[in-house]
Structure 1
Amino acid sequence: MKNIDPGKMKNLIITISLGLLIALGSVSCAFRILQPPPAPTVLEEEKLPYKVAILPFVNKTSNPEAGTIVRKMFYNFFSSLNYRDLEPYVIDENLKTNNLYTDITGGKNVSPQKLGQLLGVDAVIYGEVISLGKTYALVYSDNQAGLKARMVRCSNAKPVWELEHTIHIEEGDVPLSPIGLAATIFKTALSHKQATHIKAASELCMQMIATMPNPPGVSEPPPKIQALVHNGAGKLLQPGDSIKVAMIGDKNQIASWSIPPLIENLPMKEKEPGVYIGAYRIKARDRLAHGRMVGILRSKKGVGSQWMDTLGPVRIGKPTVLPPVIANDYVLTIDKSPYLVTGALVVKPGVTLTMNAGTVVWFRSLGLIVKGELQILGTR
């Protein structure tokens, strides 16, 4: 395991899956199929790579969020190993700048040598999500997640590790609670569907990472994080609203959470052994169009791990209300984002409405009538 400084936090492989946390919530009729993953293909003819990038996963499912959910969960578990990794958003921005992001997510062949040069890494991990969701049979539903992944050396394109695995969790007609004790601390926006997807993705990635070769470590293990949930996903948090965060991990540690650059290392209180709670009330000056939450757990010696939120972006700020009719050229910027449209929005003839990269627009009711021109700039 790695010693990590405040600028680079690392996770440890979870030894208790999120599925087991269900027992701490309401009683349910759930049956786990405990079949171990198949033996991976591992080639260790050379020294294991040092720096690794987890590329955006190809999504082969009907769930538009499957690729993002499974990739983030895979990253959280992979970060426990003794590789040096790049954070996903750093990888994505680099790929978008070099016009390779859509090629990667579309499954096109991009050479590891080229990716290694662009990203400055020794190896890349390709992933293909083959399932995430439920299939139904009589009174039972089969919640499953499947992933085909491989680590490839950039210097010679030779595989280091490769595995295809699918996990199944059978559920009866008694509804499951959200992902365990953390989600029951307060009422979250976490839906049953989100909970089952995250639970399945967690189980899948935990099992797959456990088969991966791991370079020798030189430091004491960081604290373990088991779950991070909050009530801020999928909504616009305005001044006066509170964002609440719960994290489960090793007890008697120092916990904090961040949504950079707006919220940095806010402390969390250990309400029960291993259960850490934090909250923040949105202020009038707060504004964030697309925030990424991170939970951090440090030991008394300063060794820490982090957990990347898998629920989705956090959007904060008093919205800029758009007029119902755009009569003159108008530019939507990230500085004034998020924008709010209360009714149908009409762009008059001869007028251009431009949306800059990173802009967020919320519609209370559907309706966009463009009689002039609409320009959407950027890749985010």
Structure 2
Amino acid sequence: MTPDKNGITERLLVYTIFVSLYVQSVGKGAVFVYKVGYTIKKGGFMQIALRWRSLALQYLVVLLTMMSLASCGGATKNMAIAIPAINTHEDKSAQTDVSSLPRSIAVLPFINRTDEDAAFEVVRRTIFNHFASKNYRSLHWKDVDRRLKAADLYATDKLDAAKVGDLASTLGVDGLLYGEITHYDKHFFVLYGQVAVGVRLRLIDRNGKEIWSGEDIVRTHAGGISTTPIGLIMNVISAAYHTRDINLFRAADELGREMMPNIPEPARLKGALPPQIKQVVHDGIGRVLHYGDTLAVAMEGEPGKRGFVRIDGFKTIDLVEEQPGFYTAKYNIAPGDNIDGAAVVGVLSDDSGIQNEWICPIGLLAIDNKAPEAPSGIHSQTVQHGLKLNWDIAEEQDVVAYEVMVSDHAQGPFAKLAGSKDNHYTDSSAKSFANRYYRIVAIDHAGNRGESSTVSGGVLADARLASAMELPETLPAVIEGIAVLRSGRKYNLSGDSSLPATSILLIEPGVIINAGSSGSLKVFGELQSFGSKENPIRINGGKQALVLSSEHPVKLQGVIVDGAAIAITVTAGAPEIMDSTLMNNRYSAMEISGVSRPLISGSRLEGATSGGVLIMGKAQPRFKRTSFKEMKPFHIQSMSPYRIDARGNSWYPAPSASTIMGDVDYFGGTGATR
């Protein structure tokens, strides 16, 4: 048959075969057409064969897409399709007397000569398995890596530059198997995957003589879902390993089967050959197991033998031949099981005790039931947006997260607040002066939780509170530096106490100041008070309880002045008086003078015998959301040339010309009339 100019005849023929066979048997048609091309190739019609095989692969993609859409997530045995690998192979072997061949071999880490970054270690481990079937004493690849790292020869550049004799001596072997990844490409479409891998292998004795070299490229094609014991586990680990990594393993396996028969080996003693093993897999790949998990292991090999798996440094598990040639086992992880990166080795033994071993090349096994240590160095600090918790980084390398729990009480109960991958967390819900208790728990990658560490802390409304000097019980005549009155403490103000312009006074919630009949705190510096409705600051009595004469920031928050002659006197600056109460005043609630500009908001002025608020000089106070009650004989008397803004307040009794005197705008408040 000669293809026409446009290849139409070939395409129609292949397409017709596909449609026909798809109707009869979904999976078998694709394999048949592919093999038609393979048969023609062997018959000598190279050009037609190659084009037929290419067309078959194109239609296979379409077929698999149709199958995946039709299945809608279901799968049957008929869906699994496997196509023979396409490979090109070339090797050469020196004329070597088998008696002079090395006896012990180390399979070195493969060097990647491609631009791709893939899991090529799978190729090396798979080749190692196949090479281990040769009559050499093969040094385990884990021992090879350990010795190379100890000698600082593991890096690619150092491995490339090292002399053969030096490497052989370091590894304690007679020969070396060098490997290079020379080719790699991949194509994936729905359930269909295609990977091509090329390797170059060289077997060198310790004197540098090349015994054998070979080069091969294998292209694997796979799609569908397998239902064999091996395939079921491969389906599971496909969720942890990317499809390309599974196909990379399959390509490496095909490479090993293609190349190993051509490698010379020392003569064997007469007798039976060890049982053949094809594959060993386990479903612990890509995850860390712990108590409650189940490990599934499967081995494919010669039927009718005794099979078991050996987990290095851990234990041996017997396998059961579930189907002819398929050996399986499941192991329930116990609380005390702990291993880190152990190889899973399948062993097949015949009746005479001759054994063969095969290491699962895809991944090592990790079981972790050891809980991390409790976090140390935990402390809290106030930051702009809340309370920041810090702790030391865990010494265990496998800690992946921390859980932060919180309670308002030292004994709990504690509720989960957040998770953090870092060794710090900021609680933005923490409130000033509200102490909270925190527990921090470290969690490792297996989900093990360690013991908790506890710390208490509260947000500081002002960072200076942490280092401010606490004043004595009797306030001094002059307050110097940065000083603080601590929450819950009682202080005496028996006379005048002055805060100079260079000083700062911070007052925490819950402070009580007993000012007697003559006490007065005169403020020329910065004053910050942090009272609240739930936990106010109280000043009992006083002559002029607070005299505010400062151009520095002054903020009175949540202050109750009860029974003073004059609660607050303002002579300068722009102090803020918020959510405060001035009550039972013997004379006035406030006297405001000079050019001061105070803001009184959300406050309550109640009870005065000489007038509520007296405004003098060129003062310009503002009153917002403040209640005036039982101020005798007036609520406000203003002698300032400026109009006073007193809108939006409440008055009892209602404002009138006799209770509001001077230029005061009080419209819009409760009880107000115009």
Q: CA deviation at 1:37?
A: 1.5
Q: Deviations over 1:39-84 (max 9, x none)?
A: 3243416721111111111123423421x11111111001111111
Question: What residue in structure 2 maps to residue 183 of structure 1?
Answer: 231
Residue 266 (structure 1) aligned with residue 317 (structure 2): yes
Question: What residue in structure 1 maps to residue 150 of structure 2?
Answer: 97
Question: What residue in structure 2 maps to residue 277 of structure 1?
Answer: 328
Alpha-carbon distance in structure 2 between the residues aligned to 1:169 and 1:189: 19
3-state SS of 2:123 partner: helix
Alpha-carbon distance in structure 2 between the residues aligned to 1:152 and 1:185: 37
| Change in 2 beyond 3 A, CA 1:142/1:329 | closer
Residue 346 (structure 1) aligned with residue 346 (structure 2): no
3-state SS of 1:168 partner: strand
3-state SS of 2:143 partner: helix
Alpha-carbon distance in structure 1 between the residues aligned to 2:136 and 2:350: 21
Question: What residue in structure 1 maps to residue 102 of structure 2?
Answer: 49
Give the letter for the 2:155 counterpart. T
Q: CA deviation at 1:97?
A: 0.9
Q: CA deviation at 1:210?
A: 1.6
- For the 8 Å contact 2:288–2:367, the answer to whether it is kept is yes
Q: Which moved more, 1:229-238 or 1:189-198?
A: 189-198
Q: Deviations over 1:217-244 (max 9, x none)?
A: 1142111111112111111111011001
Alpha-carbon distance in structure 1 between the residues aligned to 2:201 and 2:234: 36
Give the letter for the 2:421 counterpart. A
- For the 8 Å contact 1:179–1:199, the answer to whether it is kept is no
Alpha-carbon distance in structure 2 between the residues aligned to 1:41 and 1:227: 28
Question: What residue in structure 1 maps to residue 359 of structure 2?
Answer: 308
| Change in 2 beyond 3 A, CA 1:313/1:113 | same
Give the letter for the 2:332 counterpart. R
| Change in 2 beyond 3 A, CA 1:197/1:95 | same
Alpha-carbon distance in structure 2 between the residues aligned to 1:313 and 1:185: 15
| Change in 2 beyond 3 A, CA 1:312/1:186 | closer
- For the 8 Å contact 2:111–2:156, the answer to whether it is kept is no
| Change in 2 beyond 3 A, CA 1:142/1:271 | closer
- For the 8 Å contact 1:148–1:163, the answer to whether it is kept is yes
Residue 63 (structure 1) aligned with residue 140 (structure 2): no
Q: CA deviation at 1:123?
A: 0.9
Q: CA deviation at 1:180?
A: 5.3
Q: Return 5+ residue gaps in structure 1 as ranges.
A: 1-23, 349-359, 365-380
Alpha-carbon distance in structure 1 between the residues aligned to 2:444 and 2:144: 26
Q: CA deviation at 1:112?
A: 0.8
2:340 paired residue among 289, 292, 307: 289
- For the 8 Å contact 2:194–2:247, the answer to whether it is kept is no
Question: What residue in structure 2 maps to residue 211 of structure 1?
Answer: 262
Give the letter for the 1:183 counterpart. G
Q: CA deviation at 1:92?
A: 1.0
Q: CA deviation at 1:185?
A: 6.6
- For the 8 Å contact 1:43–1:161, the answer to whether it is kept is no
Give the letter for the 2:262 counterpart. T
Alpha-carbon distance in structure 2 between the residues aligned to 1:347 and 1:60: 43
| Change in 2 beyond 3 A, CA 1:59/1:363 | farther
Question: What residue in structure 2 maps to residue 27 of structure 1?
Answer: 79
3-state SS of 2:321 partner: strand
3-state SS of 2:231 partner: helix
Q: CA deviation at 1:25?
A: 5.4
Q: Deviations over 1:281-325 (max 9, x none)?
A: 111111112221111111111110111111212111235346678
Give the letter for the 1:111 counterpart. K
Residue 151 (structure 1) aligned with residue 234 (structure 2): no
User: TM-score if structure 2 supplies the norm length?
Assistant: 0.44
1:163 paired residue among 214, 227, 232: 214
Q: CA deviation at 1:209?
A: 1.1
Q: How many residues align?
A: 320
- For the 8 Å contact 1:178–1:195, the answer to whether it is kept is no
- For the 8 Å contact 1:178–1:190, the answer to whether it is kept is no
Alpha-carbon distance in structure 2 between the residues aligned to 1:132 and 1:226: 24
Q: CA deviation at 1:194?
A: 3.2
- For the 8 Å contact 1:222–1:298, the answer to whether it is kept is yes
- For the 8 Å contact 1:25–1:180, the answer to whether it is kept is no
Larger radius of gyration: 2
RMSD (Å), alpha carbons: 3.1
3-state SS of 2:196 partner: strand
Q: Which moved more, 1:106-115 or 1:273-282?
A: 106-115
| Change in 2 beyond 3 A, CA 1:249/1:141 | closer
Q: What are the equivalent positions in structure 2 for 1:2-21 lying under 5 Å apart?
A: none
Give the letter for the 1:93 counterpart. R
Q: Return 5+ residue gaps in structure 2 as ranges.
A: 1-75, 379-390, 403-419, 426-442, 448-674
Alpha-carbon distance in structure 2 between the residues aligned to 1:135 and 1:186: 19
Residue 332 (structure 1) aligned with residue 380 (structure 2): no
- For the 8 Å contact 2:87–2:216, the answer to whether it is kept is no
| Change in 2 beyond 3 A, CA 1:226/1:25 | farther
| Change in 2 beyond 3 A, CA 1:260/1:39 | closer
